[in-house]
Amino acid sequence: MIRPFIIILAFSLFGCSSWLDRTFAIQESTDAQAVDSERDSGWIPLFNGKDLTGWTPKISGQPLGADPWRTVRVEDGLIRIDYDKYEGPFDNRFLHLFHDRPHDRYRLRVVYRFRGDQCNEGPGWAWRNSGVMLHCQDPRTMGRDQFFPVSVEGQFLGGDGTNARSTGNLCTPGTNVVIKGTLEQAHCINSSSKTCHGDDWVTAEFEVDGDGRIRHFIDGELVLEYEQAQYDPRDSDAKELIKDGPLVIDRGWIALQGESHPIDFREVSIRPLPETAASDAE
């Protein structure tokens, strides 16, 4: 317990306003040091912890940048995707929050947690379901009513407290990948991860080596790998992107996903891969 005379002494020495100013200044200094430390380690924050600078939402049925329900916001230093302002059923209003430029060779770190209850009439498969979209198409090329960007998805799933349900999986809206030399056309492929029950924070990392290998890590453990992400010529959205270009994708945008269940993102950071091939151990 803080003793009254300590509070009185603090206020008498500095005054209420001065004492608060010093407190906030210390906090800002601590935050700045944390950012500097991240940069020194090679990690570059894509989320500044204060606002959505550098990020643009795309909700199915809405033009790029429009979010009339404040589905995504920054609260308590977190990117928060929430549906508390939705009226009526979810109605396929899938959200993707795009970072503002494409990347090719990088390691991405995302710290996330599921929380609360799913939106009214959200799809059953979307319960505690979200993800990060890699090698995304340019958000400006998405159709107004397009549900998902053509991309490679690092899928996040939360457990129900009892049953096994892996996270860090792969889903492929409009794409295919190669696994162990074979073209894989299944839409979703499970990882070997543990099940993440409850509302605890989970650290997911994705190592993306251009048109080569992509690896998924959950809490530091390698759980899935594949290579040669490529457009699926059977998909109507992908057909618009292929034209006369190559099928294999070597770069793209990054997007965080909202599929009807509330989710928070505490950190989104990126680190360029070295010029040499990505290491096999981390």
Asked if 80 and 36 sit in the same domain, the reply is no
Asked if 191 and 220 sit in the same domain, the reply is yes
pLDDT at residue 38, rounded to an integer: 52
In this prediction, residues 38-62 reach a mean pLDDT of: 91
Q: Which residue has the tokens 């608060």?
A: 20
Asked if 160 and 32 sit in the same domain, the reply is no
Asked if 94 and 233 sit in the same domain, the reply is yes
Asked if 125 and 68 sit in the same domain, the reply is yes
Domain that holds residue 234: 43-272
pLDDT, one tens digit per residue, over 109-122 is: 999 999 999 999 99
In this prediction, residues 185-207 reach a mean pLDDT of: 96
Asked if 121 and 190 sit in the same domain, the reply is yes
Percentage of residues of the chain with pLDDT beyond 70:
83
Distance, CA of 280 to chain centre = 24
Q: Which of 30-39, 65-74, 161-170 has the lowest mean pLDDT?
A: 30-39
In this prediction, residues 122-147 reach a mean pLDDT of: 96
In a domain, residue 280? The reply is no
User: In the predicted model, is pLDDT for residue 33 greater than 90?
Assistant: no
In a domain, residue 281? The reply is no
pLDDT at residue 36, rounded to an integer: 53
pTM: 0.83
Q: Quickly state the pLDDT bin for 37 (edges 50, 70, 90).
A: low
User: In the predicted model, is pLDDT for residue 40 greater than 80?
Assistant: no
In a domain, residue 93? The reply is yes
pLDDT at residue 245, rounded to an integer: 76
pLDDT at residue 39, rounded to an integer: 54
Q: Which of 24-28, 96-100, 130-134 has the lowest mean pLDDT?
A: 24-28
In a domain, residue 241? The reply is yes
Q: What is the mean pLDDT of the chain?
A: 88
In a domain, residue 67? The reply is yes
pLDDT at residue 41, rounded to an integer: 77
Percentage of residues of the chain with pLDDT beyond 90:
80
Asked if 69 and 171 sit in the same domain, the reply is yes
User: In the predicted model, is pLDDT for residue 34 greater than 90?
Assistant: no
pLDDT at residue 243, rounded to an integer: 82
In a domain, residue 282? The reply is no
In this prediction, residues 152-163 reach a mean pLDDT of: 97
pLDDT, one tens digit per residue, over 204-240 is: 999 999 999 999 999 999 999 999 999 999 999 999 9
Q: Quickly state the pLDDT bin for 13 (edges 50, 70, 90).
A: very low
Domains held by the chain: number: 2
Pairwise pLDDT comparison (125 vs 16), residue with the higher score: 125
Asked if 230 and 199 sit in the same domain, the reply is yes
In a domain, residue 198? The reply is yes
In this prediction, residues 175-191 reach a mean pLDDT of: 96
In a domain, residue 167? The reply is yes
In this prediction, residues 199-205 reach a mean pLDDT of: 97
Asked if 194 and 72 sit in the same domain, the reply is yes
Asked if 35 and 51 sit in the same domain, the reply is no
